[in-house]
Amino acid sequence: IHGNSDVASLSVANEIASLINQKQEEGKKAVLGLATGSTPVKVYDYLVQFHKEGRLSFKNVITFNLDEYFPMKPDSIHSYVRFMNEHLFDHIDIEPHNIHIPDGNISMDEIRKYCEDYEEKIKNVGGIDIQILGIGRTGHIGFNEPGSTLNSKTRLIRLDRMTRLDAASDFFGEENVPKRAITMGVGTIMSARKIILMAWGEGKSSIVQQAVEGKIKESVPATFLQHHDNCDFVLDEAAASSLT
């Protein structure tokens, strides 16, 4: 628990930078699982800053994003491709072929195979070293909405009404928010060697309390993280305020 989201984000950015630098010394690649949304923005700001200061290179980094709306064209202002480019990828020296974001533009008949291939790609690079997460008010991680199972894998899902309401202002109205998304599964997330879930502000305090202290259940997918043996919740004081 940190005094504010700025210092909390700095601590997460430092941990990611240490991993990247350590892997570089070992001549290995660092594999990051990345999230979008408002929560990780300051972490990306710090990573960009470290890069500009010459302290951090992303030449040996491979990334996998958690999710993308479906359908979604990559060049849309609403796409997570655009979000990641704007907040991180356009400002660092990552090799474009090392970036993976679920493709919201593929045809319905290709989705199943596409999702299996996404899982394969993660496995083929040796799995995710650090997965960062936000948390939705439904208790979703990635877009694994209530009802997602512990072993779920990358797949097409239907977004919860509350999630679509939360996204409504970004899309200028709930009716414009896509009804579906492609997301890594809970099982995909749980396979990461380290998980860091971040949450800021009082609006997240109730779901954070349920995720950390509640009974493990499918209706709050973030509770599955209690099963992971290397998972940190990084919170500001407001998000931690309902913990007992």
Segment contacting ligand F6R by CB under 6 A, of 90-98, 119-127, 132-140, 235-243: 132-140
Instruction: State phi, psi for 20 to the nearest 5 degrees.
Output: -60, -45
Q: Does residue 142 bind ligand F6R (CB under 6 A)?
A: yes
Segment contacting ligand F6R by CB under 6 A, of 20-28, 37-45, 211-219, 235-243: 37-45
Q: Please, what is the minimum distance in Å from the beta carbon of residue 67 to ligand F6R?
A: 5
Q: Which one of 13, 16, 20, 36 is in contact with ligand F6R (CB under 6 A)? A: 36
Segment contacting ligand F6R by CB under 6 A, of 49-57, 90-98, 101-109, 140-148: 140-148
According to CB under 6 A, which residues from 55 to 114 bind ligand F6R?
66-67
Rounded-to-integer distance, Cα 44 and Cα 194, Å: 18
Q: Please, what is the minimum distance in Å from the beta carbon of residue 93 to ligand F6R?
A: 23
Q: Does residue 221 bind ligand F6R (CB under 6 A)?
A: no
Give catalytic residues, as residue numbers.
145
Q: Please, what is the minimum distance in Å from the beta carbon of residue 80 to ligand F6R?
A: 6
Instruction: State the Cα angle at 168 between 163 and 169, rounded to 5°.
Output: 130
**Chain mean position to CA 106:** 21
Q: Which is nearer to ligand F6R, 24 or 219 (CB)?
A: 219
Rounded-to-integer distance, Cα 49 and Cα 35, Å: 19
Q: Please, what is the minimum distance in Å from the beta carbon of residue 177 to ligand F6R?
A: 12
Q: Which one of 42, 140, 155, 194 is in contact with ligand F6R (CB under 6 A)? A: 140
Segment contacting ligand F6R by CB under 6 A, of 96-104, 107-115, 128-136, 150-158: 128-136
Q: Does residue 8 bind ligand F6R (CB under 6 A)?
A: no
Q: Which is nearer to ligand F6R, 79 or 98 (CB)?
A: 79
The contact set with ligand F6R (CB under 6 A) reads 35-39, 66-67, 134-136, 140-143
